[in-house]
Structure 1
């Protein structure tokens, strides 16, 4: 497997850990529930650990844009599906703009 493929795998796993960790952040109820707080902390640490492996191959700006952008989209989906929270039109437009920026960067940038 190429180093770039491995880097994207690490990045994907980092994003998943961050999104699940953020879900447990809500479940921690402002750090008043021990188990969700501990799970959240472990997932955040593991997410950053995986991100450091990504940065061995991918530029910081590219990795962080993907991590942040995909994290926002997935966290928004979790908030709708699990927590039954609604996003209004401006929120959806903003998320679409973030996704568009990540797509443009990945398709047209020579940094990747």
Structure 2
């Protein structure tokens, strides 16, 4: 169970870093640049810890899929990114894909 907690922390770190990336203004602003670097360090460190028990394909699919979904929703809310019905549908497919991998696939470990 702790490995899934590690993966959750990795996702949160990646989401924090990626959503802050726009604020760095090409890494010319110190504080947002620091947040981005810290977020990615946290993300990769905890992703590596999660791989001790979660297969890399599953961990990466969950990390990337949920990261993309979260970043897209945050960009829609914070940065005013336009989302239409197809955008929401696509994000829903990503989330469903992650759910299928974890709930139905025999490649996942529980």
Pairwise same-fold verdict (TM > 0.5): yes
Number of the residue aligned with 1:74? 70
**Residue 100 of structure 1: aligned partner:** 96
Unaligned runs of 5+ in 1: none
Corresponding position: 1:54 with 2:60: no
Q: SS of 1:64's equivalent?
A: helix
Runs in 1 of length 4+ with deviation above 3 angstroms? none
CA RMSD of aligned residues (A): 1.1
Q: Residue 78 of structure 1 aligns to a residue in which SS?
A: helix
Paired with 1:23 and 1:100, the residues of 2 have a C-alpha distance of 22
Question: Structure 2-normalised TM-score?
Answer: 0.91
Task: Specify every segment of 5 or more residues in structure 2 that has no aligned partner in the other structure, as ranges.
Answer: none
Structure 1 CA distance for aligned equivalents of residues 26 and 83 of structure 2: 22
Q: TM-score w.r.t. structure 1 length?
A: 0.90
Residues 1-112 of structure 1 mapped to structure 2, 5 A cutoff: 5-112=1-108
Secondary structure of the equivalent of 1:53?
helix
Q: What is the distance in 2 between the residues matched to 1:71 and 1:31?
A: 21
Give the Cα–Cα distance (whole angstroms) in 1 for the partners of residues 103 and 34 of structure 2. Answer: 38
Q: CA deviation at 1:91?
A: 2.0
- Give, in angstroms, the shift of residue 38 of structure 1: 1.5
Per-residue CA shift, 1:7-43, capped at 9, x if unaligned? 0000001100110111210110121212111210111
